[in-house]
Structure 1
């Protein structure tokens, strides 16, 4: 006779922290996410191996990883799924990652590139984290039919999603978009988190300097930095933009009116945010936005694109702007810079909201996900 488990029986048993093999890349926010999560997991006794795909980490990234006790960093030299020249190269990466997992024997594989799940032959549970995808990027940024280069990558990702034991997304908006695009169950929502970086005494907005700041992967058309560049032409204050202007594949954008600062390390970005009264981010596409969270933690007033993910995360703690209207954006930025009391109020609201997206919640959420696949709870028992 089959009997349902009682509520007490459904509780997960105490378990040793799992050994996690996690993928990452050094190009953008995935590195920040992966290193912060690995640091927190290691601090709770979880052994983590971080396998880096794509370009080798920068020296400051290597140093940051080396400072984490219990973290092993492996620079695989394997191509990223979204920069690989063809489908065969992606499959070779997947197979090599599967071989690495077989050699290391982790309890769970955490893929920040879930497209690799289908061809890796993993023998342990796989968690796929949906940070972004080409299909949703194309729909938001370009529209219309995707080119062939996007179509085969999207199909690989569809197969990868279906090969994962569980999917995770950083916002409900992106979880819903992923489910609709790929025909999968909505991913579990575990919102991203960030450590608050130290950058000297925090300044009130009234005492900050008079400029606008942005940061991120500026070469990505989805970040829409061209709009902020056009707005900068209409302002009598400088607009500073931190981040790379050239992609790993050679695509490059230029800034004419905003002042490019290039790639900065985390401490330098934190220093700029401590001085900036206003942080602007006007992407056409953004599943979460870690730099926005960093700016909120620093007490910057936020001026953000009016898109679903930002509304979900920051409604009531930011000013939302049309990501297609440079003149209106310039007017909004000017008005906020001319009203330091309002900038201070918004900065305080942003800082308070940022407390929802901390590392404790991210880590607890991911540990729950790991345990759900390494210690699955049965719905029935035989009596």
Structure 2
């Protein structure tokens, strides 16, 4: 099977794509990753060609990177360049004679049907993000074109996939889809920990796009002011459109490499996410794999993924109840047994969310769609 997968190097979609591609290669799939938006860094490019072998039982698949110079939808000012990018991806799929296209940017499908079966994986979009960031406020006019393209693209593909059932329900409602997206949970390989058996550290950690209001870094900054332990924050404080967040009490670590993040997670801090909006949450999974106790916002996505394996804190209407977060974190600091039990439960739950499990579910979808609608060139051959 030859597969064309679109990706970008700006956020978590890159890690998702690389992990999925290598897991598919172990099943004999030839994966071509078409990168849109800003070019990947040297370390990101290196992820495409890992040093470790596929393994003796692996089939002879492959992963190839193509840097397309095509734009990323949410960095565009209007629909025209996104539609042009969609047409370019369709032409690329035909030229490469692939069996199926996986679009990790559903707006690309709005330009028209692909020459082969197509799956859209909805990792997040402007419309659903806006609902969480500005509840009750209509989508700004400047972003309405994006919502229209997303709706068109989701209807144009053969199947829509979401990384959680909770987010799939949001997408179905937002865009009026007749069928709910298929749920395929994300997978992640555990980060390398320099001290995997270290005792839990007296500190807290949050990871994410700190500039993004839905991640609630401002709330956690107020929490950090009251905690008797250091509260570290990894991630960018400035967004691509100039968004910023002021942090007076959180200790910013900046953008971390996988090795750097692994070093912090090896200290087994209490991991905290107060996100109001999270389609999946790879950072939470990484922390759980490292054996961190989790304190999470009480949202449908986090409940779906981490029920009985995390401590949940309700978000008030304005997401400003920092006292409840302080109480939850301090309670774990004072109760070593409970912290240990939660950490063990999180690690056990994380074992479900592997690249191999994600790839197996996606491969079944690929085969189903290819069998139902083989391309004209394949039929002719």
Per the normalisation by structure 2, the TM-score is: 0.91
User: For the aligned residues, what is the CA RMSD?
Assistant: 1.6
1:224 counterpart residue number: 216
- Asked if 1:233 is matched to 2:225, the reply is yes
| Partner of residue 6 from structure 2, selected from 1, 23, 33 | 23
Decide which moves more: 118-127 or 272-281.
118-127
Which ranges in structure 1 are unaligned for 5 or more consecutive residues? 1-17, 379-383
1:63 counterpart residue number: 46
For residue 177 of structure 1, give the secondary structure of its aligned residue in structure 2: helix
Decide which moves more: 297-306 or 251-260.
251-260
Q: Which has the higher contact order (CA 8 A, sep 6+)?
A: 1
Quick one: distance in 1 between partners of 2:372 and 2:104?
22
| Partner of residue 203 from structure 1, selected from 173, 197, 202 | 197
For residue 34 of structure 2, give the secondary structure of its aligned residue in structure 1: strand
1:74 counterpart residue number: 66
Contact 1:202 1:298 (C-alpha < 8 Å) held by counterparts: yes
1:137 counterpart residue number: 129
Which ranges in structure 2 are unaligned for 5 or more consecutive residues? 52-60, 375-381
How many residue pairs get aligned? The number is 359
* Counterpart mapping for 1:37-56 below 5 A: 37-56=20-39
Quick one: distance in 1 between partners of 2:365 and 2:237?
36
- Asked if 1:105 is matched to 2:97, the reply is yes
Contact 1:301 1:347 (C-alpha < 8 Å) held by counterparts: yes
| Partner of residue 159 from structure 2, selected from 166, 170, 183 | 166
Contact 1:175 1:189 (C-alpha < 8 Å) held by counterparts: yes
Quick one: distance in 2 between partners of 1:58 and 1:250?
21
Structure 1 runs, 4 residues or longer, greater than 4 Å off: none
2:142 counterpart residue number: 149
Quick one: distance in 1 between partners of 2:92 and 2:272?
41
1:371 counterpart residue number: 367
Contact 2:7 2:35 (C-alpha < 8 Å) held by counterparts: yes
Contact 1:95 1:121 (C-alpha < 8 Å) held by counterparts: no
1:11 counterpart residue number: none
Quick one: distance in 2 between partners of 1:26 and 1:237?
34
- Asked if 1:178 is matched to 2:195, the reply is no
Decide which moves more: 267-276 or 23-32.
267-276
For residue 275 of structure 1, give the secondary structure of its aligned residue in structure 2: coil
Quick one: distance in 1 between partners of 2:112 and 2:26?
29
1:280 counterpart residue number: 272
How far has the Cα of 1:369 moved from its partner? 0.9
Contact 2:187 2:355 (C-alpha < 8 Å) held by counterparts: yes
- Asked if 1:345 is matched to 2:341, the reply is yes
- Asked if 1:358 is matched to 2:341, the reply is no
CA shift in 2, pair 1:249/1:377, >3 Å: closer
Quick one: distance in 2 between partners of 1:277 and 1:257?
17
Deviations 1:106-136 (A, max 9, x none): 1100000011112054201100001112222
Contact 1:28 1:216 (C-alpha < 8 Å) held by counterparts: no
1:243 counterpart residue number: 235
Contact 1:213 1:276 (C-alpha < 8 Å) held by counterparts: no
| Partner of residue 214 from structure 1, selected from 202, 206, 214 | 206
Contact 1:20 1:107 (C-alpha < 8 Å) held by counterparts: yes
CA shift in 2, pair 1:332/1:254, >3 Å: same
How far has the Cα of 1:99 moved from its partner? 2.2
Quick one: distance in 2 between partners of 1:255 and 1:145?
29
